[in-house]
Structure 1
């Protein structure tokens, strides 16, 4: 369910870029629906899992996926600072998962 929430969020964020400031109907609709689906799924996940861990995974994986889509699809640049930032997020997600398992 968390993977589906991440996919919906990544689709929504990518569609927001295509919506041109919510001036294009279909990408705008996909943005709203994607976020609604993602948040709905997150609300169910949070019934059984810790909010800090779930949010870290959802936002961290989503951020990395959107950054990759930005580079591959939208032609955005890759810089050392961006790579270090993404790596830091990945390390944070891993550490939160480890901390969640030890408590």
Structure 2
């Protein structure tokens, strides 16, 4: 159940971050409201996750997945290019997240 909450927190954060350009500096009411609600949901879910997972581990997974997914949304929906260095860096983030999840004794199994 904790990983479902973490997944939902990641989805909410990625959705909110992806909406940021549409808020136009928080001057557009509907995108701003949706963006803020997404962040509120993301943090509420993350607060539940850290009741079970160590905060550093939960945050590393949340941030790592969020970085890669937001960059993917930027590339796919906003037509923002990703060069080789960006792709390599994101690959390292994914690798680090997997190493933490699969091999760290800090993560309860």
CA shift at 1:101, angstroms?
4.7
**Displaced runs of 4 or more, over 6 A:** none
**Equivalent residue for 2:44?**
40
Q: Which runs of 5+ in 1 are unaligned?
A: none
Distance 2:31 2:92 in 1: 31
**Equivalent residue for 1:61?**
65
Q: Which runs of 5+ in 2 are unaligned?
A: none
**Equivalent residue for 1:92?**
96
CA shift at 1:81, angstroms?
0.9
CA shift at 1:91, angstroms?
1.4
Q: Taking structure 1 as the reference length, what is the TM-score of the superposition?
A: 0.92
How many equivalent residue pairs? 102
**Equivalent residue for 2:19?**
15
CA shift at 1:30, angstroms?
1.0
